[in-house]
Amino acid sequence: MLDFIAKLYGPFFDLNNWQTVITSGNDWLLIFSLVIIEVLLSVDNAVVLAAQTQVLPTKKLQEESLFYGLIGAYVFRFIVIGLGVYLIDFWEIKVIGAIYLMYLVYQYFFKKGDKKSKMHLKSTKERGTRKFFWMVVLQIEFMDIIFSVDSVLSSLAISHNPVIVLIGGMIGILAMRGIAEFIMVLMKKIPELKTMAYVLIAFISLKLFLSIPMIHIEIPPTIFGPFVLISIVVTLIIHYVRKRKQNGN
């Protein structure tokens, strides 16, 4: 067992490997490519994270939840890269993620008027408690686990050196968190974006479920990208129409 673990994670502690990667221009080109892939694959993750943090009452708590989520994402990414190709067998995690995402959508659209709704209708006092805060952080960590699978497998297809994949993943995760914070700011200015986010979450849930081996239907970026753009355009139109009506009244 110890030999197996050493084989998986030994390259991370090989100083010569780190030195070779850091001093190699070709390796940095690979790392740059991995960062781009990480960000592109994590746009849907950023949407989910931004929507999840909105249940916290203050900007400080929202940013703090993303910070703790970032730490957890780094730890988990280290573990996942070590496991490498073994992730290909963990299709069950995609099913769990798809079900969980659809549950979030159900909670948002069908429990909004229900006084018993737990997450979205808690009082400001309850949502400001540390217990509730850590619940949100755990949700963020869970989604990091779900979305890391595709990113790691894609990265390992480009480079089998776990150090290169780790550096690319760490930079990519940091960039993705910046995207999530940008989306959070937009949601405050355009509230309709929150509803759009949950429409995208439903689409992402379907995308995850269809990708399991038994179905094996991949929704390509050429479909997902335009769907996101169309959703944004429609949301902006709805926002400005409502704003004009309010100003007209």
For residue 240, the model assigns a pLDDT of 92
Q: pLDDT class for 236, splitting at 50, 70, 90?
A: very high
Provide the token pair at 220. Answer: 């390509």
- Number of structural domains found in the chain: 1
User: What pLDDT, on the 0 to 100 scale, is given for residue 241?
Assistant: 92
Rounded CA-CA distance 84/237 in Å is: 44
One-letter identity of residue 176: M
State the Cα torsion 204-210-213-215 to the nearest 10°: 180
Q: What's the sign of the alpha-carbon dihedral 79, 80, 84, 85? A: positive
pLDDT in tens, 183-209: 777 777 888 888 888 888 888 888 878
Q: Domain span at residue 223? A: 2-248
CB 187 within 8 A of CB 194: yes
- pTM (two decimals): 0.60
As a whole number of angstroms, the distance between CA 61 and CA 156 comes to 35
pLDDT 10s digits, 41-88:
566 667 777 777 877 878 888 888 878 887 877 787 777 776 764 555
**95-110 residue pLDDT tens:** 887 887 788 789 888 8
Q: Is the backbone of residue 216 left (phi > 0), alpha (psi -120 to 50) or beta? A: left
For 198, residues 6+ apart whose C-beta sits below 8 A from its C-beta are: 51, 104, 105, 108, 109
